[in-house]
Amino acid sequence: MMHHTLPPLPEDSLGNALKISAELIAQVVEGSTLTDALAALGASQPQLSPGTRGAVLDLTYSTLRDCGRQDFILSKLLHKPLPEPIQSLLRVALHRLEVRPEQAHTVVDQAVNAAAHLLKGNFKGVVNGVLRNALRQTDSLRAAANQDMMAEHRHPAWWIRRLRQQYPDDWRDILRAGNSHPPMALRVNALRSDIDEVQEMLAAASHPTRELANGALVLERPVPVQRLPGFSEGCYSVQDAGAQAAARYLDVHDGQRVLDACAAPGGKTCHILEQADVQLTALDTDPARARRIRENLDRLGLDAQVKAVDCRHVEQWWDGQAFDRILADLPCSASGVVRRNPDIKWLRRSEDISRFAALQAEILDQLWQVLAPGGKMLYVTCSVFAEENHAQIAAFADRHPDCRRLPIDGQTDCQYLPCADHDGFFYALVEKQA
């Protein structure tokens, strides 16, 4: 019996995008982060055109944002899950059928082509049958999905329950925001430009923006930053509008010693240096991420001492001189930025929240040692869960009698919930009493 080698899928075909997207999502399902999966894709297929890469990213991110919905529908169409990456191919194809119903024939045809190139092509018939079945039962499947908590809200059940308990009035809006496309916001570098100049320059290049109350500019349509005039010249940076509050809340002044304890990729580090002439130390545990801090500093014409080190090991990096300001933007569940990192919904477990809270408490206690009397520390997470936020900083203040909590915008602390303008962030400011 002769075996014919299949010709490769045309690079710019929907089938190829479906195949690559399925392989990426399969890696996430098996425990990899999407960041790592994309890095591996870039290394293994550097020849991918920008168009193909864009199509793959769009399919992958959109399918992961929809997580819960396709799995519910597949549970109605299959007796048991199929092996990866076939199961994920069906996830991507079902998502595509839902958002582009007019392409139904093409989507099924291209998904079958993709299946021919996965797992020795043994699942072509199954993929064809499942998708045709899904199309025949579209109305009843959609109605059933809308009655199921995970399928309707596209988040894990434990996540939904936690939000319902902590935000009885806002939980639906938080989940809806988590499933949306994130805004693309810019932070103008006041040392090189101003808001009016940047808005005019971008508008002239057909990239209109709107200005928010805090001076952030939100692009009407997100685009690859390399296409924007003035970026490589350091006139502005890409930074979520919610994240742009950090440098303002930290209250920095010329001549101060400032520590950014978990700094990569350096957005907040650079913003602090754009606001005041300070002596800044930026730390991050990951050498590759620490290099990104340096790259961002160089593009903006700024300087800081960057060290690839774990901030908890004070003896390894501290010179004994106390800091006037500390930015503690700590590792967290990232539940406030899940629309930017939709793999998080798949990868997080309920018990991870207490693990992050324990790590945050350990870091805060270590950093407190290096803050000068009279100095201020700003605690930041990109989480919406109380254990990492209000409860964390309240427990910290209880442990440290020399800690005084300072108000932010007239409140004890500040919880930004994700919305159309910004992601979810938490801020709390404390002062070390002399």
Query: Which residues are identified as catalytic?
Result: 382
| CA distance readout (Å), 407 to 4, 310, 381, 404 | 70, 29, 17, 10
DSSP output for 310-356: -TT-HHHH--SPPEEEEEEE-----TTSTTTSTHHHHH--TTHHHHH
Q: Are 267 and 335 in contact (CB under 8 A)?
A: no
For residue 140, give both structure tokens.
């009843």
Q: Are 415 and 393 in contact (CB under 8 A)?
A: no
- Cβ-Cβ contacts under 8 Å for 334 (sequence gap 6 or more): 341, 344, 382, 383
Q: Are 387 and 337 in contact (CB under 8 A)?
A: no
Rounded to whole angstroms, how far apart are CA atoms 142 and 144?
A: 5
Number of H helices, E strands in the chain: 19, 12
Q: Are 281 and 259 in contact (CB under 8 A)?
A: yes
Q: Which of 279, 217, 249 is nearest to 425 (CA)?
A: 249
For β-strands 425-432 and 371-381, DSSP reports them as antiparallel
Query: What is residue 411's three-state secondary structure?
Result: strand
